[in-house]
């Protein structure tokens, strides 16, 4: 039995070959590698958590974006919903990691490449995209935005959802970062007093 990632994650073909029936998916979008002569214009780059799977995107703005609250997405992502941006299959170019992709078709619970399916890194298990019959749904949190302005094309920032539960919201680590604007006013005032006291103690200690 082979120890390759392919065997462990479905009928993915031979990691060292592009020939044969089981390797035909490598020649089709979204997995085929774009030739330089095609003029694939790289606008964004993305990767999984471990970096074994890396890709480029040519489209400046997604066709659409959505939140999916179905129970399948909730379970697979371990989150209240899935947040995805929709692209054409030819908008993506994988630069690393064909041999590190795993598939999962949720209706039959199989790892065979059958559309529509979930695509993930077979090593760190980061969800890469949902591959449909005509489109792909990418996850914007995997994209490395070099310019903060690029985020606006996806209508995102690090904070992607307002949760009005009346609790303090921090920009980073609790108590060591700033509160965002819609945190409860009493929490904002308390933090301001606390930091003023800390600055006063620091100032007194330097005298």
Mapping DSSP to helix (H, G, I), strand (E, B) and coil, where does residue 178 land? coil
pLDDT digits (tens, 9 = 90+) for 62-110: 998 888 888 888 899 998 888 899 999 999 999 998 778 999 999 999 9
Question: Rounded to an integer, what distance in angstroms lies between the CA atom of residue 142 and that of residue 128?
Answer: 8
Per-residue pLDDT at 180: 74
Is the model's pLDDT at 58 over the cut of 90?
yes
Q: Please tell me the predicted confidence (pLDDT) of residue 175.
A: 72
For residues 161-179, average pLDDT: 72
Helix, coil or strand: residue 135? strand
205 vs 43: which has the higher pLDDT: 43
**Is the pLDDT reported for residue 17 higher than 60?**
no
Element (H, E) at 95: strand 92-96
For 18-28, what is each residue's pLDDT tens digit?
A: 565 667 787 88
Among 60, 58, 18, 28, smallest CA distance to 40 is for 58
Residue among 170, 181, 176 at smallest CA distance from 194: 176
Residue 97's Cβ-count burial label (10 Å; 0-12, 13-18, 19+) is: buried
- Output the six-digit token pair for 42: 């790289």
DSSP-assigned beta bridge partners for residue 57: 44, 92
Give how far the C-alpha of residue 191 lies from the chain's centroid of Cα atoms, to the nearest Å. Answer: 33
pTM of the model: 0.69
Average pLDDT over residues 52-65: 92
Q: Can you tell me whether residue 75 is helix, strand or coil?
A: helix
Q: How confident is the model at residue 144 (pLDDT cuts 50, 70, 90)?
A: very high
Q: Annotate 96-113 with DSSP letters as a single string.
A: E-GGGEEEEBTTTTB-S-
Task: With beta carbons less than 8 A apart as the criterion, state whether 92 and 57 touch.
Answer: yes
């Amino acid at each position: 039995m082979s120890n390759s990632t392919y065997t462990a994650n479905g009928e993915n073909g031979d990691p060292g070959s592009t020939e044969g029936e089981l390797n035909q998916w490598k020649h089709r979008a979204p997995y085929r590698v774009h030739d330089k002569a095609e003029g694939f214009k790289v606008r964004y780059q993305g990767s999984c958590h471990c970096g074994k799977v890396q890709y480029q995107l040519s489209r400046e703005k997604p066709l659409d974006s959505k939140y999916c609250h179905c129970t399948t997405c909730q379970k697979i992502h371990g989150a209240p919903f899935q947040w995805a941006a929709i692209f054409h299959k030819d908008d993506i170019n994988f630069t690393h990691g064909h041999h590190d992709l795993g598939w999962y078709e949720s209706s039959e619970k199989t790892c065979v490449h059958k559309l529509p399916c979930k695509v993930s890194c077979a090593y760190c298990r980061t969800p890469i995209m949902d591959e449909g019959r005509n489109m792909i749904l990418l996850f914007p949190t995997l994209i490395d935005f070099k310019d903060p302005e690029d985020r606006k094309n996806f209508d995102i920032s690090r904070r992607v959802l307002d949760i009005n539960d009346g609790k303090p919201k921090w920009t980073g680590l609790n108590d060591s970062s700033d509160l965002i604007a819609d945190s409860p006013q009493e929490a904002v005032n308390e933090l301001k007093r606390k930091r003023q006291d800390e600055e006063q103690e620091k100032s007194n200690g330097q005298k």
